[in-house]
Structure 1
């Protein structure tokens, strides 16, 4: 029974706990037993918190015994990305400079998840300060992809994606400054949602000037749910969304009923489909899988699908400059660099010029303007989430895709433009390569139209369910 509940969705699990069919403590122990078996194979959690999880579960059980109202996530296990602050629990951000850092307060999203009754299994591994699309950092082993242990999970919410795919928990918090929720969602065969900028407030992450490296990416970063179903992500959004005075970017969301959004009818939506942005080198299998998935919106879901792209061109240099602009360069240059990731050292050594930053700001405005003008004609954009399937560990990215020589970050070309614009974007599992590796499809909405992205994602999920398919590594192993 516990295996079935852990393999299922959070909504059903919470209902069983609310109804008294199982206790939160029983679920926590089952999840920890599963972690003991599976975690050595994938290294999703850099800082497990078993004692805390059992304490939180016991609190839920005591509340239920007293007849008190339980939160919507009561007893549901979750993982929290190691870039997201957790009071009293080590938060290293994957950096030797913070190897012993214990925050005094929870990030707002963690605070809200815990208030809703979720129990924290631990912190999930991320690259140093999130400055990478894969999971490597100087402190911990890189998480391994449950679909193929020699392949990357993607990043920077690397451990969160691996934990979900391995069925260690049904919910995880990730963060997304250039795709970092959507990238591991695609590579791990799970659902990842980056809501509109400001829907989910952030504090202290990206906002607290006392912590160089941690306090970066202010106008790019989003906190987002990672789950194995769209409905579970909507449930998480109903908990973590909404303004907070600690985040000047946060906005009201009274215009959305998060729990009902996945049920909305999408017939008649106008969708632009671009398999390559007009310039991206895309793996042939990825192109075919995502094209077939996108065509189902027209053939089976009643949408109007048109091949089109907004002619964005390669804006990777703009993205790199914006990241550097929003980094505390002085503070980060003062940190010990002996163990710092090589790509971070390279960024800090670069002699950035004011004109490079102001050019990047102007170019970001151009991208945003191109996107809103393009989306006057469309309700949604569909693309591949990534240009490649998962690739071997210990790479930043492939340098040959579809026979073309490319930069090692080229595979991320579909993600970061929507951090420029702050538009809502999701990655849904679209299918598998011939070798059994997951491929993600990106669904992007208009400014603040988060509900339509969730509705389209859920419609595709009903058409092509993904959660029943488990990584062979765990589907064929004896259960604990």
Structure 2
């Protein structure tokens, strides 16, 4: 492949979709270019752990034939996509990053996969994830570790780390993932791409063993905010099988996004109201970036909602979910379930009904306080991560600025404190440290205001162009 096709692989998904739709580019040409780039460069990154080149080429040929025949096509027609290896793909190995599922091949797509297929996307493979998506560093005993495309030997984040690395490296123009405590936001920040944790129910999850839970969501990732909006337009929308599914159709998210923010009310919370410790290198980068919002016409104030109780809510509800999902598995196969999952499931097994009722009461009060905060502001800005990408040999950071951390979740509190608020949160490229490591800016809005975080993130992205700085692989 030529340098020209390599450049093609790094173009925005919105541009590629338009080129395919106008028949200036074929889906087969784009798919071949992506597959070639994966074959040449992924051994160094380890982002795409299962590839179906033959199936992808057949799907691309079918997409080109449908366009030539004048058939109605979807918004992602002909675009290669990679699915997180925790999301079931019919006929394609889905391992959840666990040796217990090394040979599992689902019979049907789960909903997020089916919706992207229905929108015309071409499935090329599966992206790496930590075991059962637990933790924000992508490694497992089946496939090993995913490296950050910007610095080999450093973490790509997680748990959608393979997806973020694949996007940054130009392996696919569109990817998807999931987020309980930052798994769409954290890797986007580490890899200088865009990740959206939508409002719970915006992208319905089905099947799901506990359909009423709002802690974990699925969502899109891309190299630009407009790419994420395009993918969200295909992923969002109601489904009667999902009790928390929102009723709004997804198509409106693909509408053009503004480049000015005149009159937008912005709150900036560099340490989330004193609740998190942040590496000073991150704070320094973002302090300069936040000034861009004033240049775009926004009014910026230092403020933060009252997030008291958010730690307990997140910790309790996560442990309860881990007990339900993993306690039996951990007891049956203790040597094949990693320690952090066993620990979290054990914490859940110790919970009482009173613990859960206390957490849900605090959850309700937290939600009401945050909704009131967004009566005064349109968006809240905060760091996406508290640390920079760390060595891949380290399972998780154990201290920030010399302050010890208690467990494998503590270093992700910039995201976990936001999760139980029910707010949509977008991680957008926020700049680089002097030695070239990416920093993410988290844009948060009121529950259900997913379009707003996309609008604000897009305007910032267009003004700064941080996301256009691609790694040298």
For the pair 1:400 / 2:395, whether they are aligned, the reply is no
Distance change in 2, residues 1:332/1:217 (3 Å): farther
The CA distance in 2 between the partners of 1:404 and 1:343, in whole Å, is 21
Q: 3-state SS of the aligned residue for 1:184?
A: helix
The CA distance in 2 between the partners of 1:424 and 1:451, in whole Å, is 9
For the pair 1:352 / 2:350, whether they are aligned, the reply is yes
- Alignment TM-score, normalising by the size of structure 1: 0.92
Count of paired positions: 464
The CA distance in 2 between the partners of 1:454 and 1:200, in whole Å, is 15
The CA distance in 2 between the partners of 1:413 and 1:461, in whole Å, is 24
Residues 461-470 or 428-437, more deviating: 461-470
Note if contact 2:211-2:242 (Cα within 8 Å) is conserved in structure 1.
no
Note if contact 2:314-2:419 (Cα within 8 Å) is conserved in structure 1.
no
For the pair 1:150 / 2:153, whether they are aligned, the reply is yes
Q: Residue 76 of structure 1 aligns with which residue?
A: 79
- Alignment TM-score, normalising by the size of structure 2: 0.93
Q: Residue 318 of structure 1 aligns with which residue?
A: 313
Note if contact 1:185-1:427 (Cα within 8 Å) is conserved in structure 2.
yes
For the pair 1:246 / 2:241, whether they are aligned, the reply is yes
Q: CA deviation at 1:397?
A: 2.8
Distance change in 2, residues 1:157/1:216 (3 Å): farther
Q: 3-state SS of the aligned residue for 2:149?
A: coil
Q: Residue 139 of structure 1 aligns with which residue?
A: 142
Higher helix content, 1 or 2: 2
Q: Residue 367 of structure 2 aligns with which residue?
A: 368
For the pair 1:282 / 2:278, whether they are aligned, the reply is yes
- Which residue, out of 300, 304, 311, partners 1:309? 304
For the pair 1:339 / 2:342, whether they are aligned, the reply is no
Q: Deviations over 1:36-83 (max 9, x none)?
A: 111100100121221221111111122123232332212111111111
Q: Deviations over 1:191-230 (max 9, x none)?
A: 11112111111112xx1x4xxxxx6993211111100011
Residues 258-267 or 169-178, more deviating: 258-267
Q: CA deviation at 1:368?
A: 1.8
Q: CA deviation at 1:307?
A: 0.5
The CA distance in 2 between the partners of 1:333 and 1:390, in whole Å, is 30
Residues 311-320 or 417-426, more deviating: 311-320
Q: 3-state SS of the aligned residue for 1:139?
A: coil
The CA distance in 1 between the partners of 2:411 and 2:28, in whole Å, is 42
The CA distance in 2 between the partners of 1:437 and 1:216, in whole Å, is 38
Show structure 1 runs of 4+ deviating over 6 A: none
Q: CA deviation at 1:314?
A: 7.2
Note if contact 2:119-2:234 (Cα within 8 Å) is conserved in structure 1.
yes
- Which residue, out of 94, 97, 106, partners 1:103? 106
- Which residue, out of 57, 73, 91, partners 1:88? 91
- Which residue, out of 6, 30, 34, partners 2:9? 6
Q: 3-state SS of the aligned residue for 1:393?
A: coil
Note if contact 1:192-1:426 (Cα within 8 Å) is conserved in structure 2.
yes
Q: Deviations over 1:125-166 (max 9, x none)?
A: 111221211112232211100011111111110100110111
Q: 3-state SS of the aligned residue for 2:175?
A: strand
Where structure 2 has 5 or more consecutive residues not aligned to the other structure, the ranges are none
Pairs within 5 Å for 1:253-272: 253-254=248-249, 257-260=252-255, 262-263=257-258, 265-272=260-267
For the pair 1:225 / 2:225, whether they are aligned, the reply is no
The CA distance in 1 between the partners of 2:249 and 2:50, in whole Å, is 36
